[in-house]
């Protein structure tokens, strides 16, 4: 069920990818480069990679890139997005929790292992597994606050809980930081704002927001009809649904290599 949900969202992630690197993406990449976690030619594993947005940035640096995701459709698109690059890359489909480590690092540990906005790393077992796949650095990113005013009005009008539509786990960062420490590593946390806006027609907004909510029946024509009416009522005078999202993100990193 979880894989099917991410399969449905792959098209939305692809459109974001095609819009180009965002200011937030650039900040994260600059942070990785300036801290020495990322450098040309290093080996990188991206867990919960989506359509390979960060994978293409790593490949452009000549890195040896491994991408994994539970969604086959996400990885299909990632492979298309990586095809222009000559740096070595591979994809592995499956649930990170159950995938054999040898599939994720067949030639030994990676220099950097990341998982951005993904539920793949969520407990002690997955924190330890992620750490074991790196010979130097690990990085997790997660939302710690999220405001979506117009989306909240849309979901509430239809009788659905807006909280269920949020990406990531808003309360998991503190527990993950503690797990990293308990696993024997020193966690480092940095907070960054990440805001964006999209303008959609009423029909585009209705279809997009239905796909985003796990409790909404994607195939229900009556639900779509009601959703379209609600979205149209929330559009501005130009007939545009002005979607605004305001978030704060935590970057949790730790070094797995023991200093001499």
219-226 long-range contacts (CB < 8 A, ≥24 apart) are 223/158, 226/158
Task: Name the 3-class secondary structure at 22.
Answer: coil
For the four alpha carbons of 139, 145, 150 and 154, in that order, the dihedral sign comes to positive
Task: Report residue 182's pLDDT band, with 50, 70 and 90 as the boundaries.
Answer: very high
pLDDT given for residue 2 in this prediction? 83
pLDDT given for residue 167 in this prediction? 64
pLDDT given for residue 1 in this prediction? 55
The domain defined by 2-146+168-197+245-255 folds into Rossmann fold (3.40.50)
Average pLDDT, whole number, for the chain? 94
The angle, 0 to 180 degrees and rounded to 10, between the axes of the packed helices 173-182 and 124-132 is: 60
pTM of the model: 0.92
* Interstrand relation of 43-47 and 110-116 (parallel, antiparallel or unpaired): parallel
pLDDT given for residue 170 in this prediction? 57
Count of C-beta atoms within a 10 Å radius of residue 11: 13
What is the residue extent of each domain of the chain?
2-146+168-197+245-255
pLDDT given for residue 259 in this prediction? 61
CA 194, 118, 150 angle in degrees (round to 5)? 45
- Model pLDDT for residues 36-78, shown as the tens digit of each residue: 999 999 999 999 999 999 999 999 999 999 999 999 999 999 9
């Amino acid at each position: 069920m979880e894989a099917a949900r991410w399969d449905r969202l792959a098209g939305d992630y692809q459109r974001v990818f095609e819009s180009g690197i965002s200011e937030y993406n650039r900040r994260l990449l600059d942070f990785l480069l300036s801290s020495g976690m990322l450098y040309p030619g290093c080996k990188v594993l991206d867990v919960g990679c989506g359509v390979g947005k960060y994978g293409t940035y790593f490949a452009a640096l000549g890195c040896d890139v491994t991408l994994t995701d539970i969604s086959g459709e996400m990885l299909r698109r990632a492979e298309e997005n990586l095809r222009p690059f000559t740096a070595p890359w591979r994809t592995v489909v499956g649930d990170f929790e159950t995938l054999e480590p040898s599939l994720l690092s067949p030639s030994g540990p990676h220099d950097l292992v990341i998982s951005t906005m993904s539920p793949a790393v969520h407990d002690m077992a997955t924190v330890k597994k992620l750490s074991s796949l790196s010979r130097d650095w690990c990085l997790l990113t997660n939302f710690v606050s999220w405001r979506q005013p117009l989306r909240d009005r849309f979901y509430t009008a239809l009788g659905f809980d807006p909280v269920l539509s949020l990406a990531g786990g808003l309360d998991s960062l503190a527990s993950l930081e503690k797990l990293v420490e308990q696993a024997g590593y020193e966690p480092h946390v940095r907070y960054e704002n990440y805001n964006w806006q999209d303008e959609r027609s009423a029909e585009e907004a209705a279809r997009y927001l239905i796909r985003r909510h796990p409790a909404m029946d994607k195939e229900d024509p009556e639900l779509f009809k009601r959703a379209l009416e609600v979205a149209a009522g929330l559009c501005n005078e130009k007939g545009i649904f002005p979607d605004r999202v305001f978030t704060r993100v935590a970057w949790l990193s730790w070094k797995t290599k023991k200093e001499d």
